[in-house]
Amino acid sequence: MNTNTNALTHPAAPLLGRTALVTGGSRGIGAAVALRLAREGADVALTFVNGKDAAADIVRAVEALGRRAVALRADSADPKEAEGAVERAALALGGGPDVLVNNAGLGLLGPLETLTAADVDRLLAVNVRGVFLASRAAAARMTEGGRIITVGSCMTQRVPGPGGTLYAMSKSALAGLTKALARELGPRGITANIVHPGPIDTDMNPADGPFAAGQAALTALGRFGTADEVASTVAHLAQATYVTGAEFAVDGGHAA
């Protein structure tokens, strides 16, 4: 019996006919993921908050690949918007999403004594609550073969220095959520996995920033990664049929 649910897909465009929602897809890792999924055949919805023009550029780039795309302003910090983006994406793309990529996240670092209760609420709202709500909404719509892929952080595996309490806490919550989602959704043929990037050259963490050299030195490869290098693992997980509840370091050996 053939149990490969991708067996009938087009080899050059394995995600053809599938729809994806990428949160925070206007820049950085999310933009690279949106483009990579489109290159592999998916129609793509992406969310943004401030980067309307940047989001429109990604939509045009996806359309240039022959796929459909839509940019949705949806702040993951707002529960209604985080959840509502899933239905808006489905309406715009005519179904799905078959693939949810929980990418939107804030990088709020700082000494323990400087982090306020408001900081905790804000970071958890975007990095954790928004992911939970989008995953729940997507799971409700997904059919067999659905894929939930979350962007965590290498700081769930190894915290290399001070300042990461809040951020590491938020991303570690996502690792637990992913495993629990895998268990709950597995019987329906839906997978949930998490990717842990190391230092990736984006606006959030530029490779020429003040702390960049130290971060690069902590990796086995001695360099920052690119958003495309993360996107390739996300795209793999969008197709993988027997991988769920798993954590993937895309960190240049940061955790080695």
Ligand X SMILES: NC(=O)c1ccc[n+]([C@@H]2O[C@H](COP(=O)([O-])OP(=O)(O)OC[C@H]3O[C@@H](n4cnc5c(N)ncnc54)[C@H](OP(=O)(O)O)[C@@H]3O)[C@@H](O)[C@H]2O)c1
Q: How far is the CB of 144 from ligand X (least distance, A)?
A: 28
**Any contact of residue 26 with ligand X (CB under 6 A)?**
yes
Report the residue from 197, 234, 244, 255 that binds ligand X according to the rule CB under 6 A: 197
Closest CA to 88 of 137, 129, 18: 137
Rounded Cα distance, 242 and 199, in Å: 28
Distances (CA, A) of 99 to 7, 21, 190, 234: 18, 6, 10, 10
**Any contact of residue 200 with ligand X (CB under 6 A)?**
yes
Rounded Cα distance, 168 and 152, in Å: 9
**Any contact of residue 131 with ligand X (CB under 6 A)?**
no
36 sits in which H/E element: helix 28-39
Stretch that binds ligand X, among 5-13, 36-44, 45-53, 59-67 (CB under 6 A): 45-53
Number of CB atoms found within 10 A of residue 145's CB: 16
Note whether 255 and 158 are within 8 A (CB). yes
Q: How far is the CB of 196 from ligand X (least distance, A)?
A: 7
Task: Say whether 242 is catalytic.
Answer: no
**Any contact of residue 219 with ligand X (CB under 6 A)?**
no
Number of CB atoms found within 10 A of residue 144's CB: 8
Report the residue from 35, 62, 77, 190 that binds ligand X according to the rule CB under 6 A: 77
Report the residue from 36, 37, 72, 76 that binds ligand X according to the rule CB under 6 A: 76
Binding site for ligand X (CB under 6 A): 23-30, 47-51, 75-77, 103-107, 126, 151, 153, 197, 199-200, 202-205
